[in-house]
Amino acid sequence: MDPLLTIVVGVTVLTVVGIASGGAFLLRILTGHQGANDLQKSFFRAGHAHAGVLVTLGLVLATLTAVVDASRGWAAAGAIAVLVSAIFIPAGFFLSVLGRDPVKPGPMLAAIWVGAACLAVGLVISGIAVISAGVSAL
């Protein structure tokens, strides 16, 4: 595995602590110990779920591309793009509904679309890198 990607993977594993504490925050909201309107509850739930799933997907892609001996640069680029989406998408969900009682999401909703683009690019790069490694191994 590329040394840069190895560092990114290590840092990413540490971010799971933050995702877990986000789960505690969600639990406080859902049990009524922390105020939030229905829009905020929905967006906080979506942000938390996307963070966990996308971090897991990024780690799986980093491992998969290393196992199949894909090109180190492309493997790193694909996995890192997916991990970047794990920052932008949840940030868009969380930050677009900040405030006392928002009625609709704010402009930070655009971060979700930036993250979606990073996700798509990362998946395409990773998929092609894995296929390329398979073709090379024939």
Pair 92, 115: CB distance under 8 Å: yes
Provide mean pLDDT across the span 72-94: 95
Band of the pLDDT at 22, cuts 50, 70, 90? confident
* Alpha-helix residue ranges (DSSP H) falling in the chain: 3-30, 38-67, 72-95, 110-137
Give the Cα separation of 91 and 94 in Å (integer).
5
DSSP 96: T
Residue 34 confidence (pLDDT): 85
Query: Which two three-digit tokens encode residue 61?
Result: 């892609």
pLDDT digits (tens, 9 = 90+) for 40-81: 999 999 999 999 999 999 999 999 999 999 999 999 999 999
pTM: 0.90
Q: Is the dihedral of CA 120, 123, 126, 132 positive or negative?
A: negative
